[in-house]
Amino acid sequence: MSINSLPIELLITIVSLLPFKEAVRTSVLSKKWLELNVCKFTKNIEFDELFFVKPDQPNETREIQRRTFLDFINLWIENYKGTLVEKFSFRLSNPRNGGEIIDQCVAFATECEVKELELDFADPNWNENNIYYGNYEEALFKLPARVYQHGSLESLKLYSCSFVETEVLNFHALKEVSLGWMEVRLSAIKALLSNCNMLESLSFKRCWNSDKFDLGEEEHTGLRKLVLDKCRFEFDVFKVNAPDLKIFQYCGLMNFFITEIHSPAMEEANIDFSPEYGFEGLGHPLYNLVENLFIVRVLTVCSFVLQVIPTGPELLGFQSGMLVQHLILKTALHKNEFLGITFFLNSCTMLECLTIDLCSEKDLFDYEAPFVFNRKRFWSDNVGVYESLSLSLEVVEINGFSGTENELLVLMYFIANGDMLKRISINMLEDDSGRTMEPQIRENAEFLLTVPRASTNLEISIC
Residue 16 has pLDDT above 70, yes or no: no
Helix/strand/coil (H/E/C) assignment for every residue in the chain: CCHHHCCHHHHHHHHHCCCHHHHHHHHHCCHHHHHHCHHHHCCEEEEEHHHCCCCCCCHHHHHHHHHHHHHHHHHHHHHCCCCCCCEEEEECCCHHHCHHHHHHHHHHHHHCCCCEEEEECCCCCCCCCHHHHCCCCCCCEECCHHHHHCCCCCEEEEECEECCHHHCCCCCCCCEEEEECCECCHHHHHHHHHHCCCCCEEEEECCEEEEEEEECCCCCCCCCEEEEECCEEEEEEEEEECCCCCEEEEECCCCCCEEEEECCCCCEEEEECCCCCCCCCCHHHHHHHHHCCCCCCEEEECHHHHHHHHHCCCCCCCCCCECCCEEEEEECCCHHHHHHHHHHHHHECCCCEEEEEECCCCCCCCCCCCCCCCHHHHHHHHCCCCHHHHHCCCEEEEEEECCCHHHHHHHHHHHHHCCCCCEEEEEECECCCCCECCHHHHHHHHHHHHCCCCCCCCEEEEC
Residue 173 has pLDDT above 80, yes or no: yes
Determine the average pLDDT of the residues in 302-306.
Answer: 97
- The pLDDT of residue 18 is 53
- The pLDDT of residue 151 is 93
Determine the average pLDDT of the residues in 134-153.
Answer: 92
Confidence bin at 22 (pLDDT 50/70/90): low
Determine the average pLDDT of the residues in 302-331.
Answer: 95
Determine the average pLDDT of the residues in 333-354.
Answer: 96
Residue 36 has pLDDT above 90, yes or no: no
Residue 28 has pLDDT above 50, yes or no: no
- The pLDDT of residue 30 is 47
**Better-predicted residue by pLDDT, 440 or 382:** 440
- The pLDDT of residue 38 is 47
Confidence bin at 300 (pLDDT 50/70/90): very high
Burial zone of 436 (CB within 10 Å; 0-12 exposed, 13-18 middle, 19+ buried)? middle
Nearest of 193, 161, 190 to residue 175 by alpha carbon? 193
Determine the average pLDDT of the residues in 5-23.
Answer: 54
> Can you tell me the distance from the alpha carbon of 185 to that of 209, in angstroms, rounded to the nearest whole number?
6
Confidence bin at 364 (pLDDT 50/70/90): confident
- The pLDDT of residue 32 is 46
- Hey, what amino acid is at 138? E
Residue 31 has pLDDT above 80, yes or no: no
- The pLDDT of residue 295 is 97
- The pLDDT of residue 430 is 81
> Can you tell me the distance from the alpha carbon of 3 to that of 35, in angstroms, rounded to the nearest whole number?
13
% of the chain residues with pLDDT over 90: 67
Cα dihedral 216, 270, 19, 153, rounded to 10, equals -10
Quick: pLDDT tens for 218-257.
999 999 999 999 999 887 889 999 999 999 999 999 988 8
- The pLDDT of residue 7 is 56
Residue 35 has pLDDT above 80, yes or no: no
Q: Residue 12 in contact with residue 38, Cβ under 8 Å? A: yes
pTM for the model? 0.89
Quick: pLDDT tens for 98-132.
889 999 999 999 999 999 999 999 998 898 888 87
- The pLDDT of residue 369 is 83
- The pLDDT of residue 195 is 95
Confidence bin at 460 (pLDDT 50/70/90): very high
Determine the average pLDDT of the residues in 152-166.
Answer: 97
> Can you tell me the distance from the alpha carbon of 389 to that of 350, in angstroms, rounded to the nearest whole number?
9
